[in-house]
Amino acid sequence: MFIVEDRSKPRLSDETFHLLRDLIHKRCGIYFTDVKKYLLENRLLRRLEGRNLKSFEDYYYFLLYDPEREVEFLNLIESIVTNETSFFRDLPQLEAFRKGIVPSVMEYKQKLSKKEINIWSAACSTGEEPFTIAMILLEDDIAEKGWKVEILGSDISEKVLKSAIRGVYEKYSLRNTPERYISRYFSNSGDCYVVNQRVRQLVRYRRINLMDPLETRTVQNMDIIFCRNVLIYFNDQSKRKVLNHLYDSLVEGGYLILGFSETLHNITRLFKPVSFERSVVYQKV
C-alpha cells in the first residue's frame, strides 16, 4: 500500500521546529521533545490557517514581529495546552490536604493570631481543582469557625478561566465526586451541574503565566499552593524556574502540592518532602 503525502500541506522543518520549540519553552515552559515534533506540527497547523499563513517559517516570524504577536501567542497557547482535570482528582492527596495540611496550617496561624488561610491553585484549568478545595473547606465549616478563606485559581489560558468563572460542568467532570458533595454544592440543570454560590464566593480567578516572575510576584503570602499536573509538560530548566517563583509566593513553612506522579527529586532542594498516609507533599524550608 502507498501512503500519498499531501504536498499542499505546510511542512515543519527540523530547523523551524527547534526555533518554535525554544520560543514556546521560553515563554510558557512547555517543552516539546524531538519525538513530539509531529504533535506540535499538527497543533500549529490550525494557527497557520487561522492567520492565513503559508508556512511555519512565516508563522515563526509572525510571532516575533507582527503587531498582533501577543494576541497570537495566546491563541498558540490555547492550541498546545492540555486541560485535562476533574473534581476530586487524586483523592489520597485531598485527604492529606484535609486531615494533615489544613490542620497544621490552622495551628500555626492560630499561634500568630491570624485566622486566615490563603490557597493558590496555580494551573487550575477549568476550575474543578479550586472548587474542590473550597468544597472540602466548607464541609469542615471552617468559615463558621471564624476563619477567612481565600482561594486563587489561575491559569495561562484565558479560555479555561472563562469556563471556570461560568462554573457549569458536565456529569463527566464529576466522575470522582462523592454523592454527598454533589447534592450539597451543585444544582442540577438539565445535563449540566452548576457550582453553588457558597463555593464560588471563596474562589477568585486570574490569568497568571507561571514562567513570568512579574506575574507570579503579584501573588504573596500563600499558605498552600496546588500546582498539579502541569510541570510534567516542562523540562527541568523551566521546572526550576517555576518552583523558584512558587517558593517566593509561599509563606515560611507553606505547603506545595504537586501532581501524584510529580517529584522534586533532583530538581530543587528548596522544599522538603512531607509524607502523609498515601501521598507526599512538599514544604518550604
Ligand X SMILES: C[S@@+](CC[C@H](N)C(=O)[O-])C[C@H]1O[C@@H](n2cnc3c(N)ncnc32)[C@H](O)[C@@H]1O
Residues that bind ligand X (CB under 6 A): 28-30, 81-85, 89, 123-125, 129, 155-157, 160, 209-211, 228-230, 259
* Smallest distance, ligand X to C-beta of residue 207, A: 8
β-bridge partners, 150 = 118
Instruction: Specify the DSSP class assigned to residue 123.
Output: T
* Smallest distance, ligand X to C-beta of residue 268, A: 17
* Comparison of 108 and 260: residue with beta carbon closer to ligand X: 260
Instruction: Specify the DSSP class assigned to residue 31.
Output: -
* Comparison of 12 and 28: residue with beta carbon closer to ligand X: 28
* Comparison of 28 and 219: residue with beta carbon closer to ligand X: 28
* Comparison of 17 and 88: residue with beta carbon closer to ligand X: 88
Whole-angstrom distance, CA of residue 229 vs CA of residue 218: 22
* Smallest distance, ligand X to C-beta of residue 279, A: 13
Segment holding 211, helix H or strand E: none
CA max distance for the chain: 75
Whole-angstrom distance, CA of residue 165 vs CA of residue 195: 10
* Smallest distance, ligand X to C-beta of residue 1, A: 37
* Comparison of 47 and 89: residue with beta carbon closer to ligand X: 89
Whole-angstrom distance, CA of residue 192 vs CA of residue 186: 10
* Smallest distance, ligand X to C-beta of residue 171, A: 17
Cell of 225: 499552593
**Burial (Cβ within 10 Å: 0-12, 13-18, ≥19) of residue 213:** middle
* Comparison of 147 and 243: residue with beta carbon closer to ligand X: 243
* Smallest distance, ligand X to C-beta of residue 6, A: 30
**Burial (Cβ within 10 Å: 0-12, 13-18, ≥19) of residue 226:** buried
* Smallest distance, ligand X to C-beta of residue 89, A: 5
Cell of 110: 492560630
What b/e sequence results for 234-250 when a residue is b if at least 16 CB atoms lie within 10 Å of its CB, and e otherwise? Answer: beeebbebbbebbbebb
* Comparison of 82 and 218: residue with beta carbon closer to ligand X: 82
* Smallest distance, ligand X to C-beta of residue 215, A: 9
Phi-psi region of 125 (alpha: psi -120 to 50; beta: other; left: phi over 0): left
* Comparison of 118 and 229: residue with beta carbon closer to ligand X: 229
End-to-end Cα distance, the chain = 61
| Strands lying side by side in the sheet with 116-121 | 203-207, 148-155, 116-121, 222-227, 250-258, 279-284, 271-276
